[in-house]
Chain A
Amino acid sequence: MEALLNLWHATGIANFTFPALIMIAVGCLLLYLAIARNFEPLLLLPIGFGAILTNIPLAGLSDPGGLLYYVYHIGIDTGVFPLLIFMGVGALTDFSALIANPRMLLLGAAAQFGIFATLFGAILLNYVPGFEFTLQDASAIAIIGGADGPTAIFLASKLAPDLLGAIAVAAYSYMALVPIIQPPIMRALTTPEERQIKMPQLRTVSKKEKIIFPLMVLSLTILFLPAATPLVGMFCLGNLMRESGVVDRLSNSAQNEIINITTIFLGLAVGSKLAADKFLTIETIGILVLGALAFSIGTASGVFMAKGMNKFSKSPINPLIGAAGVSAVPMAARVVNKVGLENNPHNFLLMHAMGPNVAGVLGSAVAAGILLALVG
C-alpha cells in the first residue's frame, strides 16, 4: 500500500500546482498560435514547448542540473545565442536598398522613438500600485519597440533577466502581429494622395560598396559606440561573409544551419523562463501593454519622419515606408508594400521599404548599445 502511495506521489497528477497548469496552458496557447495561426512559428513553437517542459512537476528541467537550466546559462545568460542569430541575420540581409538611398537611415532612427518613449512610459507605470520597474527593467521592456527579437533578448539578459521570458514572448508576439498593428496607424496618419506617391527607381549598387559597407558600420561603432559592438560586430561579420563572395560555405552555414540550431535552443531557453512565479505577475501585463505601445509609437514616428522628409526632399518619399523603420524584417516592409498597393495597384514599395527596414535593424542595435552604455 505504501509503495502504491509513493508511486502516486511520483506522478504528475499528484504534484500539479494551479499556477504551473496555467503556464502549461500558456505554452499550449503559444503552440496553437505557432501551428494553427502561423504566428512566428520558428520561435513560438520552441518557446511554447519550453514553457510546457519547464513547468512539469518533479522533472526539474529548469533547476540546476536540468537540461533547460544549462541551455539557458550557456546560451542566454552569456548572450551567445542572440549574437549567433544576429550573425545569421547579417548573412541574410541585403543592404543594397539602403546603400542606394542612405537617407532611409533617418527613418530607421525615427522609429526608435518607440523604444525611448516606452522607457518613459514604463517608469510612468510605477505610479500604478503593484509596478516597481527600475531603470534597467524599463530599458529592457522598451527595447521591445525595436521589433528585433535577438536584440530584445540580448538586452533583457543583460539588464533584466527576471523579465526575459515576458519580454521575449511580447517581442515575438508583436512581431507576428505587425500586419495587424501597423496598417491602421499607417492609414490614420497619411492621406490617400500621400499613400499613392511613387518613388524613383533605386540605382544599382556595386559589389565593392556592399563589401565596404559592413566594415564601415563596424568602424563607426568601434569609434563611437563600443557598447553596441557585440550586436553590430556579429551582424557585420555575417554580412561581410555574404557580400565578400569568397566564403559562400560559411555564409550558407550562418544563414541556415547555425541560425536554425540556435533558434531551437534559444526558443527552449526563453520558454524555460516562462515559469509560473516569474510570468504570472502583474508586471507581465504591464510588459504586454507597453510592448504594444512601443510598436505603435515606433510606427507612428517613422511615418511622421517620412512625411517630414517628403516635404523637404527633391525626390518624392512615400510616407508609408517610414513604418518599415521598426525593423521586423521583412514583415514590416511587406506590410508597407501591401498598404501601398491598396491605394495604387501599380505602386510597388517593397524595395523602397527594405531600406528603412534594414536601417531599423541597425537603429535598434544602436539604441540597445546606447541603453547598455547608459543604464547597464
Chain B
Amino acid sequence: MNIGELLATAANLMATGMVGVFVFLSLLISAIVLMSKVASRFEQPIDIPARAPSIKAQGVPDAHIAAISAAIAQYKNKQKL
C-alpha cells in the first residue's frame, strides 16, 4: 500500500473511530440516565419508612452521641460544684 492509500485508510479510520466512540458513549449515557431513573423509583418506598421511626438513622453516629452525653454530664457535674 502506498502512502496515499494509507492516508485514505487512516482518515477513514479516524472518522469511523470517532463516530464509534461517540455512539458507544452516548448509548452509555442513555443507559445511565435510564438506570438512575429506575433506581430512584425503587429507592424511595424503601427509604422513607426506614428513616422515619428512629432518630439514630438521621446520621448522628453513636460515638458522637456518646461524646455529647459525656460532655453534658461533665457540664452538669461542674455546675453542681
Contacts and interface: CB of A to CB of B under 8 A. Distances in A.
Real complex partners, A and B?
yes
Interface of A: 98-99, 102-103, 105-106, 108-109, 112-113, 115-117, 119-120, 122-124, 126-127, 135, 138-139, 206, 208-209, 212-213, 216-217, 220, 224-225, 359, 362-363, 366-367, 370-371, 374-375
Chain A CB within 10 Å — which of B21, B22, B32 has the most? Answer: B21
A362 B17 contact: no
B27 interface: yes
A120 B16 CA distance: 13
A253 B16 CA distance: 38
Given A120-B11, A209-B35, A212-B35, A115 B28 contact: no
Interface of B: 3, 6-7, 9-11, 13-14, 16-18, 20-22, 24-29, 31-33, 35-36, 39-40, 42-43
B6 A126 contact: yes
Contacts of B32: 98-99, 102, 105, 213, 216
Contacts of B10: 119-120, 122-123, 135, 138
A359 B3 contact: no
A209 B32 CA distance: 9
Given A99-B36, A208-B39, A213-B35, A374 B24 contact: no
B33 to A, nearest CB: 6
Given A217-B28, A366-B20, A117 B36 contact: no
B17 A115 contact: yes
Contacts, number: 105
Nearest to B35: A212
A191 to B, nearest CB: 26
Contacts of A109: 18, 21-22, 25-26
Contacts of B40: 206
B11 A216 contact: no
A371 B35 contact: no
B21 A374 contact: no
Contacts of A367: 17, 21
A297 to B, nearest CB: 11
Contacts of A138: 10
8 contacts: A98-B32, A116-B18, A120-B11, A120-B14, A135-B9, A206-B39, A371-B13, A374-B17
Contacts of A116: 13-14, 17-18
A212 B39 contact: yes
Contacts of B39: 206, 208-209, 212
A135 B10 CA distance: 7
A206 B9 CA distance: 45
Contacts of A374: 13, 16-17
B32 to A, nearest CB: 4
B65 to A, nearest CB: 23
A142 to B, nearest CB: 9
A118 B39 CA distance: 40
Contact of A224 (B6, B14, B27, B35): B27
A105 B26 CA distance: 7
Contacts of A208: 39, 42-43
Nearest to A98: B32
Contacts of A122: 10
Nearest to B20: A370
Given A99-B36, A216-B35, A220-B27, A135 B17 contact: no
